[in-house]
Chain A
């Protein structure tokens, strides 16, 4: 090796095309603690630590082959005792008659290696902080969303409870007041009252009691539906019988209205709970009576339809005006006209829908131009037991 290069403070080597060491200065020998002469003819791999061999063969050498030079590559040499020596490496390629030669300059780095390592650790710590902050932010966002959802649910519950208490206290108080008042009057004045008046008072007590009974039934269904636990039996039902039973009961109650019933013979059986179906039909019938003038007829038509049985109750009342029919079945909803016309809780039709849907059917409301005025039609449909598909 050139004596000048022996004086250079650092390793200077040249490599043949197949990466054998052709020359090495004294500085190179000192770096790895070997005699530079003993390095000649050996593969460059003997100078390198195991990871550096990969880096050199896969990154440095191809770059030299492709570009002719590399600069400031950090890698570690292997000392004679195997410990890694951090160095920076510059290299270039020159062409000669025997193929290319690679000239390599290697400088040991101590302080720089330390601060680079520190810098790397700091960069990783920052990246770690960033990742954990991001995770924390995501967790916070999730928690905030959960809280918002829970708050909204609480809010809905509270609104429901308030509406419920408002409606119920009014709906319960009215019949109880009547029953209490009439009973009181009867107890005080029974002897002096005309039999007609007594009968009238007793009739009022009876009908208000019936109203309370029905409200209680609806509330029972409502509380089950709200709790998600509305269970309906799947017994075979003859719809015609249930409708006749409901109409007979309503005739006794609403003497001011006529009821006409038209039941198609040979209807299929449906599956459900007859008491619940009767509750629905009764609701329809009493609504029809409530909202139509005395002396008119409430029509009930039962037909086989779309693979099931449909029941339609039509009254001779004012009809549905500009209502959105579906809304009538919403809980606590009462049409503006209905509010003016009659008392009610806005629970009955909701309960009807819940019960019929629980039996696999559907409900609807529509205006129906009848012979005695515009009229409203309330309907329900239940699938046939044997064939639930279309006709």
Chain B
């Protein structure tokens, strides 16, 4: 059962075995490999865990169940399952983009399991709700995105077919995938996009009791600064750090600054080791 969960999500462990767990959740559009510029910086002090959502990276794509992922709750449950399988406590959950909402949902369900949330370019709602809220996009924009993904999937599916189908007899292919491809199944990606970009989780912000760090980018086309401000304002006990960067993926474009922001935040938090060392 435990191994099932770890295998299904291609869970990768590194860092100190006695360290406080730091769990990295990737966002929409890629897989756990995207954390490779940031996660290693914490291996000397923390137990570092990365994983793929079902349909992304080296996850078990056969385990993808469209009914489970009709809302972000299915993804939040994935995170909790991984925590249970590894028996993780006092987890620092680092989550990018839509995973930030997923992380909040997980922390609302089992608040005692998480010590901190580090939310990288979060947005609780992508569609404008004027005049009070600017998410940055209209419903037509999101429909356009889904349409664009469908067109890409036409060629994408054929292009990725040998990889998507999986080849258990040739594990070396899977190894290739890890190093050469930021990989995501188009069907999973389509549903992930639909669930994510049409969701409205603004009301969930007030339910989060876990202390948090929000990392925003100064010029982010996907999560504009006013969205970061909105999250900060409605998330009790949150700290906002804005990195002077263009884009939505500071952990890729500005890993040094991202690591520094995380370290600065964590320095103000008690460094927590598990019982063996404390």
B236-278 interface code vs A (CB 8 A; 1 in, 0 out): 0000000001111100111000000000000000000000000
* 3 A-B pairs with least C-beta separation: A51-B144, A58-B29, A66-B182
Interface centre among A43, A48, A52, A53 (most CB of B within 10 A): A53
For B247, give its contact among A18, A84, A116 (CB under 8 Å). Answer: A18
Interface check A171, CB cutoff 8 A: no
Interface check B149, CB cutoff 8 A: yes
Interface check A198, CB cutoff 8 A: no
Contact yes or no, A58 B33, CB < 8 A: no
Contact yes or no, A74 B145, CB < 8 A: no
Interface centre among A19, A76, A120, A123 (most CB of B within 10 A): A19
Interface check A57, CB cutoff 8 A: yes
Q: Which residues of A contact B245 (CB under 8 A)?
A: 18
Interface check B197, CB cutoff 8 A: yes
A167 to B253, CA, bound (A): 92
Q: Which residues of A contact B252 (CB under 8 A)?
A: 61-62, 65-66
Contact yes or no, B253 A65, CB < 8 A: yes
A48-75 interface code vs B (CB 8 A; 1 in, 0 out): 1111111101110111011100001111
Q: Which residues of A contact B30 (CB under 8 A)?
A: 58-59, 62-63, 66
Are A73 and B152 CB-contacts (below 8 A) given A54-B222, A58-B29, A67-B180? yes
Question: Chain A contact residues (Cβ within 8 angstroms of B): what range?
Answer: 20 to 34
Contact yes or no, A51 B155, CB < 8 A: no
B184-200 interface code vs A (CB 8 A; 1 in, 0 out): 10000100000001000
Q: Which residues of A contact B150 (CB under 8 A)?
A: 120
Contact yes or no, A19 B247, CB < 8 A: yes
Interface check B1, CB cutoff 8 A: no
Contact yes or no, B247 A74, CB < 8 A: no
CB distance from B68 to the nearest CB of A (A): 20
Contact yes or no, B249 A50, CB < 8 A: no
CB distance from B128 to the nearest CB of A (A): 11
B131-181 with Cβ < 8 A to chain A:
137-138, 141-145, 147-152, 154-155, 159, 180-181
Interface check A20, CB cutoff 8 A: yes
CB distance from B248 to the nearest CB of A (A): 4
CB distance from B118 to the nearest CB of A (A): 18
Q: Which residues of B contact A123 (CB under 8 A)?
A: 154
Interface check B18, CB cutoff 8 A: no
CB distance from B56 to the nearest CB of A (A): 11
Having A55-B148, A74-B148, one finds 15 other A-B pairs with CB under 8 Å, namely A17-B253, A18-B254, A20-B246, A43-B221, A49-B141, A51-B144, A54-B137, A58-B248, A59-B28, A62-B249, A62-B252, A66-B36, A66-B181, A72-B159, A120-B151
A93-131 with Cβ < 8 A to chain B:
116-117, 119-120, 123
Contact yes or no, B248 A57, CB < 8 A: yes
Q: What's the count of A-B pairs with C-beta under 8 Å?
A: 113
Q: Which residues of B contact A273 (CB under 8 A)?
A: none
Contact yes or no, A76 B246, CB < 8 A: no
B residues near A (Cβ < 8 Å) are 27-30, 33-34, 36-37, 97, 126, 137-138, 141-145, 147-152, 154-155, 159, 180-182, 184, 189, 197, 219-222, 245-249, 252-254
CB distance from A141 to the nearest CB of B (A): 22
A75 to B248, CA, bound (A): 18
Contact yes or no, A67 B253, CB < 8 A: no
Nearest B-chain residue to A61, judged by Cβ: B249
Nearest A-chain residue to B31, judged by Cβ: A66
A1-53 with Cβ < 8 A to chain B:
17-20, 43, 45, 48-53
CB distance from B43 to the nearest CB of A (A): 19
Are A76 and B144 CB-contacts (below 8 A) given A58-B28, A58-B97, A66-B30? yes
A361 to B246, CA, bound (A): 83
Q: Which residues of A contact B151 (CB under 8 A)?
A: 74, 116-117, 120
Are A57 and B222 CB-contacts (below 8 A) given A18-B254, A120-B150? yes
A79 to B68, CA, bound (A): 40
Q: Which residues of A contact B29 (CB under 8 A)?
A: 58-59, 62-63
Contact yes or no, B155 A61, CB < 8 A: no
CB distance from B226 to the nearest CB of A (A): 16
CB distance from B173 to the nearest CB of A (A): 16
A70 to B176, CA, bound (A): 16
Contact yes or no, B137 A67, CB < 8 A: no
A310 to B219, CA, bound (A): 90
Are A54 and B247 CB-contacts (below 8 A) given A67-B181, A73-B152? no
A52 to B141, CA, bound (A): 9
12 contacts between A and B (CB under 8 A): A20-B246, A51-B143, A54-B137, A54-B221, A55-B152, A58-B222, A61-B247, A63-B182, A65-B37, A66-B36, A67-B180, A74-B151
Q: Which residues of A contact B219 (CB under 8 A)?
A: 43, 45
